[in-house]
Structures are given as C-alpha cells and as structure tokens.
Amino acid sequence: MSARGTRLPSEANVSVDPRTGATIRQVTAAPAIHHQPFFFIPAYDDAMRRLIFVSHRTGAPQIFAEDRAAGDLVQLTDQEGIAEWSVHPSHDGRFVYFTAGAEGWRVDCETFEVERLAVFGDVAMREQGMVGAAMGTSALSRNDRWWAVKFNEGTEACLAIVDTTDGSWEIILRRDTIGHQQFCPDDDTLLFYAGPLTDRVWLVHRDGTNNRRLHERAEGQWVTHETWLPGRRELAFVDWPNGIRAIDVDTGAERQVTSFNAWHAAARRDGRQMVADTNFPDIGLQMFDPTDGAGEPTAVCFPEASSMGAHWNGPFPYANGPIEVYAPQHTHPHPSFSPDGSRIVFTSDRTGHAQVYEVILDKESAR
C-alpha cells in the first residue's frame, strides 16, 4: 500500500459528449473503483483547491484528492477499515473527515497528518446491506464545527454529534434506524435524517430536541434520496419515479419540484439549479430549476453508468421490511455541483471500472 502524501501524475482526459456536446473531463483512469463522496456531500472544498474522491487502486478504499492547481493526484490516507461513503471534506479545505472501524477520524490535506477525533466504543458503524443506513454516510455542518455520525449499539441506532474543535461527542437520538443525516445548509442547529424505509423523512435539532416527522408517506409511495435546497429551508425528496417534491420545514407546505424520473438529485450552492441522474429509463444527467414550479429538465450529458439495482424497476419493494438488493453504489453517477456551479462531478463505470468525471458547464448553463 502506498503512503500518505504520495503524488501521482494527472490522469485527466477531455472528451465531448456526442449527444449533448458537453465537455467531459475524466479525472481518474487507473483500473480500480473510484467515486466521489455521496451525492448530497460536497466533493470539493469551497475554494475548489481539491476534488476529493475514494480510490481502490492500492487494494483498499483510500481517500485521494486531485490538486487542482498542479493537476496531480494525491493520496491522503493509508488506513485500514475506512468506510468509503463516510468521507466528508471540510468546507474550508483543511480536513477530510471519515470513519474507520468504530472511530471518527480526519486527515489534514496539507500535512497528511491523521487525527483520531472520537472513539465510539463497541458499536457497529453500519447496518447490513449496501443502501440507506448501511452506507455509513456522515454529515458536517456548514461552519465545519459539528460532525454528525451514526452507529448502532445492538439493535438501537444512535446519532452522535462530534464537536470538531475538541473531539467531544454525545448521542442526541436513539431509535430503530437512522441514515443519510444532513445538516441544513442555512441552519447548523437543524438536521434531516432518514428513518425507516416506510417512514423516512425526519428532522431533529442538533441538541436532540424536537425530533419530528416532516412528511407522512402515502400508501405505495416510494420516498427516497432526500436533500436540502439551500437558501429556502426546504427539504427535497425523490418521489420515485414520479419526480421530486419539496417541503418547507417551518410551515410544512409541500410542492412538486419536477416530474421526470429524477433518481439522485443535488442542488447548486445558490439553490437555483439542481442536477439529477436518471434510471428506468436512463436519460442521462438532467439539470432543472427547482424554484420555478415547473422543473423542466435539460440533458447535460450521458454518463452511461451501469446503475445497478434491479429493484428500482418496479413498485415500492419495502412494504414488508428491508429486502436484499444488489446495488453497488459506485455504479451510480451520484452527480453534484462544484461550489462555483461551473461543473458537475459524477461517477461512471462505462469503461469497465468506476471512474470520476466532471462535466464542464457552459456559461449559460451555469447561470
């Protein structure tokens, strides 16, 4: 296994999407699994000095960065047991946070020093499976002060908040299942988290108070892939495969955002655009305005990822509880915007190995 701080030459390659004419920049090329953080987690620091991704090129998932000024690829970790979907870059660009074993860690992007922030004890960091709460995603507040980590003590799911200034932490919530927690980008005292598959949309304050259901699922409705809309105090969720809906967290007012088969959708930093991958059918990455009441999509590019997960091609499958599915997450595009809105990062395994790509937006699309 190569060491922290190892620098590799750029693997970038530029091509043009034959169907949309978009410029596609391939970031990684080694014959191994690569992917950026999950779709609701930023892949870049705010200043866009680095693009953070996970690579299996050393034989195990490790955290890498593309140094955007030099073009080099830099290995940030050489640690065993990294939960690859727990990775969360800090907004100020100083650290990348992650879990490994039953512990919370961060790596300094300049010095490559790895610091253990929290030891959670005799717990399981992830549930069984490869989707939802089993992924082990974590969340960092917009001011980089608070880190939300989920784990299980026996059959009980626990949501812990870590103070990144000193590593102190406390469990703020215990219940049957917790997953995909996300701080509100406009309020670092408020978090969304996903509850059970039949009752997913919940809010809780950072101190553990006012735990409440935000949306009550209708019979047969498939609610999934929630994400915040910046600047609006609205939480968007996929109503698969019927589009995206959004709920005002203060008033409870609910609205339709778009009506195409959006799958994983993320908002631009200013909240004026969203991008989504698609499946069944795959009609590529689609960009749309989540604020205009129509959400008419425009094709950005076609990742041609295998997007594995046959269970998506049918009605809600979890009515009687969790089922075993085969949906390796690195086969899904999981698009998200760069902080300046000039590009969209995504994953595709169209070459036979999952690689990280950027689609460069023209000035009109980025407005």
Left, alpha or beta for 203 (phi > 0: left; psi -120 to 50: alpha)? beta
Q: Is residue 125 assigned to a domain? A: yes
* Residues in CB range of 343: below 8 A, 6 or more apart: 25, 337, 358, 359, 360, 361
Q: Is residue 104 assigned to a domain? A: yes
Domain span at residue 259 reads 7-366
Q: How many whole angstroms separate alpha carbon 63 and alpha carbon 76?
A: 5
The pLDDT value given to residue 345 = 98
Rg (CA), the chain: 19
Q: In angstroms, what CA-CA distances link 207 with 162, 203, 204, 282?
A: 11, 12, 8, 41
Report the CATH number at residue 173. Answer: 2.130.10.10
Tokens of 306: 């295998």
Closest CA to 321 of 135, 177, 174: 177
The span from the first CA to the last CA of the chain, in angstroms, equals: 43
DSSP string spanning 144-179? S-EEEEEEEETTEEEEEEEETTT--EEEEEEES--E
Q: Is residue 1 assigned to a domain? A: no
The pLDDT tens digits of the residues spanning 258-297 come to 999 999 999 999 999 999 999 999 999 999 999 999 999 9
Tokens of 249: 């967290």
Q: How many whole angstroms separate alpha carbon 84 and alpha carbon 64?
A: 11
Q: How many whole angstroms separate alpha carbon 117 and alpha carbon 132?
A: 25
Q: pLDDT of the chain along its 367 residues, tens only? A: 679 999 999 999 999 999 999 999 999 999 999 999 999 999 999 999 999 999 999 999 999 999 999 999 999 999 999 999 999 999 999 999 999 999 999 999 999 999 999 999 998 887 776 566 778 999 999 999 999 999 999 999 999 999 999 999 999 999 999 999 999 999 999 999 999 999 999 999 999 999 999 999 999 999 999 999 999 999 999 999 999 999 999 999 999 999 999 999 999 999 999 999 999 999 999 999 999 999 999 999 999 999 999 999 999 999 988 888 999 999 999 999 999 999 999 999 999 999 999 999 986 665 6
Q: Is residue 2 assigned to a domain? A: no
Q: Across-strand partners of 36?
A: none
pTM: 0.96
Kindly provide the b/e burial profile for residues 295-325, where b requires at least 16 CB atoms within 10 angstroms of the residue's own CB: bebeebbbbebbbbbeebeeebebeeebeeb
DSSP string spanning 72-138? -EEE----TTB-GGG-EE-TTSSEEEEEETTEEEEEETTT--EEEEEE--S-BSS-SSSSGGGG---
Tally of domains in the chain? 1
The pLDDT value given to residue 1 = 61
Residues 41, 44, 46, CA angle at the centre, nearest 5°?
Answer: 105
Q: What is the DSSP letter of 351?
A: T
